[in-house]
Structure 1
């Protein structure tokens, strides 16, 4: 029980039924995360491949993390179109299985991978998400799409051997593949009942705003360097 509570507070893993609208597909003409038509100016396309924390569990499309980050980047003068490729309940295996649908063919200039919380909460052996995440990174590399990792953060105390293995997945892969890595995804809302839904797991719209600030800090310099 102590381990489950710690994970629920610190990971706030994505769960629940998939929302009716799970992704913002690339349309013709292109449509940004806020629903507005893109002009002819070339802006980088960022695909966020994730679970309900990306999809925006029980939130509107404009309140979901990708749309909020897109607006925050724009406020900093960093133009980007962020595609919401989040599906509630997804594991790393699910993300890998839908790579062709969610990433390939979108014209992505950057892939942000925010998966793994459900693997951890479901008690899957850490070798499985590490293998799946590596496969996603391999696919992106083969498609010449730069990638960035948003990882599951695990408290660095009283860890079981399996927890230690999970904690090492993201920094190890970031080093191996030479990709940027963000480790404190849920820190802005951890333990904050005022920023979480009644389930204690998913962020409210205000919680997403808090999370988006740190994600924007992470992505802004990366997006600015895209060709």
Structure 2
């Protein structure tokens, strides 16, 4: 996953009132090598507006972002958009670079805490990485997410890439990023996973 030079931030509005969901992620959510309008958060926005109190989706994802990068950006994003919900999809770039699991966990915990202190509800997405650094590291990395979900009492959403990587022609040649053709399915899947929490 590589950082793109431009920061693509998209706000999709469907009404003058209602809640705002901010997606804080990396290239898996930013729409890597495609127009951001084709990314799954953009495609998900009208579905959420029709079926949940969320009327705005802010895609604050940047390709290449680590948990540390997003920590630097988060306070300004919260001040600017004042989201009711923050969905965190981060950690893959940390894991692919072999960052210490305890540091990744600490950064994610701080992201959750800062978001909650702003008044937002928080959801965390499970992330898995290839066993580039051995199975022990991959397991330690994967365990960060359910542990944080339980300890901080926030929803844990399943990793949409588990379905994408198993579907023919949905992955780019780099073996890391979903193509535009996969984005509608991801949008449907994420709408289904998030709606029960958004409707509480």
TM-score w.r.t. length of structure 2: 0.89
Residue 20 of structure 1 pairs with residue 6 of structure 2: yes
Where in structure 2 are there 5+ consecutive unaligned residues?
none
Where in structure 1 are there 5+ consecutive unaligned residues?
1-14, 25-31
- SS at the partner of 1:147? strand
- SS at the partner of 1:47? strand
Match of 1:89 among 47, 64, 75: 64
Taking the aligned partners of 1:101 and 1:193, their CA distance within structure 2 comes to: 39
Match of 1:143 among 102, 114, 118: 118
Structure with the greater alpha carbon radius of gyration:
1
Taking a change above 3 Å as real, the CA distance of residues 195 and 75 of structure 1, as seen in their structure-2 partners, is farther
Residue 134 of structure 1 pairs with residue 120 of structure 2: no
Q: Is the 8 A contact 1:53 1:65 kept in 2?
A: no
Aligned residues: 198
Match of 2:82 among 107, 116, 124: 107
Taking a change above 3 Å as real, the CA distance of residues 75 and 196 of structure 1, as seen in their structure-2 partners, is farther
Taking the aligned partners of 1:109 and 1:177, their CA distance within structure 2 comes to: 17
How far 1:132 moved relative to its partner?
Answer: 0.1
The correspondence of residues 22-61 of structure 1 with structure 2, limited to 5 A, is 22-24=8-10, 32-33=11-12, 38-40=14-16, 42-61=17-36
How far 1:43 moved relative to its partner?
Answer: 1.3
How far 1:108 moved relative to its partner?
Answer: 0.3
Taking the aligned partners of 1:186 and 1:219, their CA distance within structure 2 comes to: 16
Could you give the per-residue CA deviations for residues 130-164 of structure 1, whole angstroms, max 9, x where no partner exists? 00000011111211211000121368xxx733222
Taking a change above 3 Å as real, the CA distance of residues 19 and 192 of structure 1, as seen in their structure-2 partners, is farther
Residue 186 of structure 1 pairs with residue 158 of structure 2: no
The correspondence of residues 188-227 of structure 1 with structure 2, limited to 5 A, is 188-225=163-200
Q: Which structure dedicates a bigger proportion of its chain to helix? A: 2
Residue 68 of structure 1 pairs with residue 43 of structure 2: yes
- SS at the partner of 2:86? strand
Taking the aligned partners of 1:214 and 1:96, their CA distance within structure 2 comes to: 27
How far 1:103 moved relative to its partner?
Answer: 2.6
Q: Which structure dedicates a bigger proportion of its chain to strand? A: 2
Q: Is the 8 A contact 2:95 2:129 kept in 1?
A: no
Residue number in structure 2 paired with 1:168: 143
Residue number in structure 2 paired with 1:3: none
